[in-house]
Structure 1
Amino acid sequence: MKILFLLTCLSLTLTNSKLMAQSRTAPDMEQLYTEANSSYRKFESIHGGYVQTDNVLMHYLCWGNPKNTPLIWSHGSFSHSYELADLARLLTDGGYYLIAVDYYGHGQTPVPEKEVSLYNSADDIRVLMDSLKIDQAIIGGFSRGGYIAAAFYQSYPERVKALILEDGGSVAFNTFNHRMSEEALEIKIKSMAPEQGVSSIYEASFDSPAAAYQSLYDKSAGGLQFELLNIVKRKGNQWITYAGLNDFFCMKDDQQFKSLVLKPNNSPLYGASITMVQPKIIFRNLHIPLLILDPVADHDPMPFEKDNIALANQFPGLITRVEFAGIEHNIHYEKPAQFSQELLKFLGIVQKQGLSFSKKK
């Protein structure tokens, strides 16, 4: 999971969005918010849903025919269930029932009151499958969502027909960190602390949902951008977007991240749990098809290329590894056409292998 790259991209996006949104007049933004809110509510009435688990009231989206092959997707850090929304039509036209969850602190799913881990997120997906009467599904995820997908396979292997891991979940989180020299690791750790301006964007609270929406709106993109409202949520008498997430991930400052890397068992459970997902152990008896979408770049902050190749060579009949040269992390965003092509190709192979997908009666 390329944390530094992800935070840098997010900070640039949010900073630019905020500046551009402020250039609009107040009436313009108020009208945009009204229209966006209407579109968001309409979209949610068609595609949105909630399921109560032992941990949280989890929000999710679904597209397509429930009778088709189910594909359940977990998004990356600081993203949400709309992550693959632009690709939903392509997947549903291909005969798949796409389900995307919001895990803790993202979208409309809150952070639970009790201590939780990535494995609790996996449990939530199992409850969702039960509620939708899905016995087995293709499970996939991006970045942190990939680790959730791997944790789900470890916990409920009988519920998984195939796995899709986009730069996360195929290699242990701290693998590269623990290979670095002490000096190099110290430099990396210090670089993880978000800049003050970025922190203020992450931690901001607002007097209204309209103000929170305005802080995220990208004028250069235009349109309603109603999906931004899935990030906006109420907290007490205020409205927030990403507030508290860095702390929840144990990434609020360099000291938190240092503890996560060197002493994860001393860190809060959710942040630490990503270091507890051990793919070499989880996949030692792999028995289902696995697609690894592997971005490889010259300045890759978390290079997992060799580890992914080794894993694929261990299971040549089950693992398909696709390399995306020049991409540091977010394949589905930077190369959506190629991402979709490889996804559908893999899913087609899975179907040809005669793997049936069943619904619970």
Structure 2
Amino acid sequence: MLLKAFSIMALLLIGGVHIRAQQTPLTGRQTPLEQAFADAKREFVNFEKAHGHFVTTKNGRMHYLTWGNPAALPLVWSHGSLTNALELLPLAAGLVKAGYYVIAIDYYGHGQTPIPAHEVSLHHVADDIKVMLDELKIKKAVIGGWSRGGMISTAFYDAYPDRVAGLILEDGGSVSTNTHYHSMKPIQLTTRIGAIFKDRLPDTTYKSEFEAYRAYYDTTQKGNQFELLAWIAPTKEGRWAISPGVLELFNMHTPEQFLDNILYPTRVPLFAESMSILEPKIIFRNLSVPVLILDPTGPDDLFPFETRNAALQQAHPSLIDHKVYPNTGHNIHYERPEQFLKDVATFMAKVKSHNRLK
């Protein structure tokens, strides 16, 4: 099921348990899809009972999932744009087997974590993670993430370096995000942004949770696909959508907004600004923890930063491992799960040695 979910997310944006009370209006006998929806609702509740948690911070209630033994080495994972903590579900068992206690968060507007009424930034998410670690009585953790989640991980290291045992940056957080765009001439940049928005799915809403579920249900796969319910949420207008409000948070509803994020970051909302101004070269100038950079390369590379990642590794050769994944798209852990698990498991030995852990 996650194949279709991640495909949807890529098209939407390239760059107590909150179970809804609304029920599908069923008349007579249930169709197979209506039955799958009912089963999905039940499985979602049971899954949350086993793995779901909330922590209250000054920015609201942050939802997170856990897998494994709390006595193991903690790995805190921040997801990419328009996905959520469940992006790690297919990998959780493998990470636990490797020896990690896995903690995957939902940040603002994703999964079950709402967007605060006040302005927030990547560093506000870092603050929320710190509160969660305090509540869990975790002194240090491996902090990692994919894409925008990698940026959050770098922001966390910037704010709380003494709470970091190691960093895992999957195609995000190791190089300033607009570096490639700033190398383009104006006409190249506008053409590139136009191409990104041309391939987007429309920002569609639905009158019921079931209709949204039906729209994104992958008919080529089996099962109730309960994970879809983590993507679907009510809008302010009482309809249903995928991660409503996130494009406003990112200031990426239109090509013009995207261009403003790149060229005029101090003019845009704070969360979007924080993504544009994060500068890893400054944050890592006095790097003191092991870092694993997972770097996909290929003809359609979204962030062609291989040379810059290699330069960062050369600046800190004893601390940074730079793993290149040839002919791989932006989402390494989805496209190359076995290699991802192998590299993350191998990284644990370096983290334990550096931190003198058994």
Report the TM-score when normalising by structure 1: 0.89
| Distance in 2 (alpha carbons) for counterparts of 1:93 and 1:165 | 21
Instruction: Tell me which residue corresponds to 1:230.
Output: 230
Contact kept in structure 2, 1:192 and 1:251, CA below 8 Å: no
Q: CA deviation at 1:215?
A: 1.8
Instruction: Tell me which residue corresponds to 1:198.
Output: 201
Distance 1:60 1:12, change over 3 A: closer
| Distance in 2 (alpha carbons) for counterparts of 1:314 and 1:124 | 31
Name the amino acid aligned to 2:260.
S
Instruction: Tell me which residue corresponds to 1:44.
Output: 48
Question: Which runs of 5 or more structure 1 residues have no equivalent in the other structure?
Answer: 1-5, 14-24
Q: CA deviation at 1:346?
A: 0.8
| Distance in 1 (alpha carbons) for counterparts of 2:137 and 2:204 | 39
Distance 1:206 1:135, change over 3 A: same
Secondary structure at the aligned position of 1:176 is classed as: helix
| Distance in 2 (alpha carbons) for counterparts of 1:7 and 1:189 | 19
| Distance in 1 (alpha carbons) for counterparts of 2:179 and 2:56 | 35
| Distance in 1 (alpha carbons) for counterparts of 2:344 and 2:287 | 20
| Distance in 1 (alpha carbons) for counterparts of 2:56 and 2:9 | 33
Contact kept in structure 1, 2:329 and 2:335, CA below 8 Å: no
Contact kept in structure 1, 2:175 and 2:308, CA below 8 Å: yes
| Distance in 2 (alpha carbons) for counterparts of 1:338 and 1:332 | 8
Name the amino acid aligned to 1:339.
F
Matched, 1:34 2:38: yes
Matched, 1:136 2:140: yes
Secondary structure at the aligned position of 1:162 is classed as: strand
Instruction: Tell me which residue corresponds to 1:265.
Output: 266
Contact kept in structure 2, 1:162 and 1:350, CA below 8 Å: yes
Report 1:322-341 matches (<5 A): 322-341=323-342
| Distance in 2 (alpha carbons) for counterparts of 1:186 and 1:58 | 36
Instruction: Tell me which residue corresponds to 2:208.
Output: 208
Instruction: Tell me which residue corresponds to 2:356.
Output: 355
Instruction: Tell me which residue corresponds to 1:295.
Output: 296
Q: CA deviation at 1:344?
A: 0.4
Give CA deviations for 1:110-157 in whole Å, capped at 9, x if unaligned: 111111111111111011111111111000000000000000000000
Secondary structure at the aligned position of 1:243 is classed as: coil
Segments ≥4 residues shifted beyond 6 Å: 6-9
Q: CA deviation at 1:174?
A: 1.0
**How large is the Cα RMSD of the aligned pairs?**
2.0
Give CA deviations for 1:264-317 in whole Å, capped at 9, x if unaligned: 111111112101211000000001000000001123232101100000000000
Report the TM-score when normalising by structure 2: 0.89
| Distance in 2 (alpha carbons) for counterparts of 1:268 and 1:278 | 18
Name the amino acid aligned to 1:75.
H
| Distance in 2 (alpha carbons) for counterparts of 1:328 and 1:165 | 15
Contact kept in structure 2, 1:193 and 1:251, CA below 8 Å: no
Instruction: Tell me which residue corresponds to 2:189.
Output: 185
| Distance in 2 (alpha carbons) for counterparts of 1:61 and 1:215 | 26
Instruction: Tell me which residue corresponds to 2:101.
Output: 97
Give the aligned length: 337
Contact kept in structure 2, 1:137 and 1:159, CA below 8 Å: yes
Contact kept in structure 2, 1:193 and 1:252, CA below 8 Å: no
Name the amino acid aligned to 1:303.
P
Q: Which has the higher contact order (CA 8 A, sep 6+)?
A: 1
1:117 to 118, 121, 133: 121
Instruction: Tell me which residue corresponds to 2:171.
Output: 167
Distance 1:9 1:59, change over 3 A: closer
| Distance in 1 (alpha carbons) for counterparts of 2:259 and 2:354 | 45
Q: CA deviation at 1:208?
A: 2.5
| Distance in 2 (alpha carbons) for counterparts of 1:87 and 1:288 | 24
Contact kept in structure 2, 1:170 and 1:292, CA below 8 Å: yes
Q: CA deviation at 1:191?
A: 2.3
Contact kept in structure 2, 1:29 and 1:214, CA below 8 Å: yes
| Distance in 2 (alpha carbons) for counterparts of 1:288 and 1:350 | 8
Contact kept in structure 1, 2:234 and 2:244, CA below 8 Å: no
Give CA deviations for 1:155-193 in whole Å, capped at 9, x if unaligned: 000000100000000000111111112221121122233
| Distance in 2 (alpha carbons) for counterparts of 1:36 and 1:8 | 19
| Distance in 1 (alpha carbons) for counterparts of 2:223 and 2:206 | 22
| Distance in 2 (alpha carbons) for counterparts of 1:256 and 1:343 | 36
Q: CA deviation at 1:242?
A: 2.7
Matched, 1:126 2:127: no
Contact kept in structure 2, 1:288 and 1:318, CA below 8 Å: yes
Instruction: Tell me which residue corresponds to 1:21.
Output: none
Identity %: 44
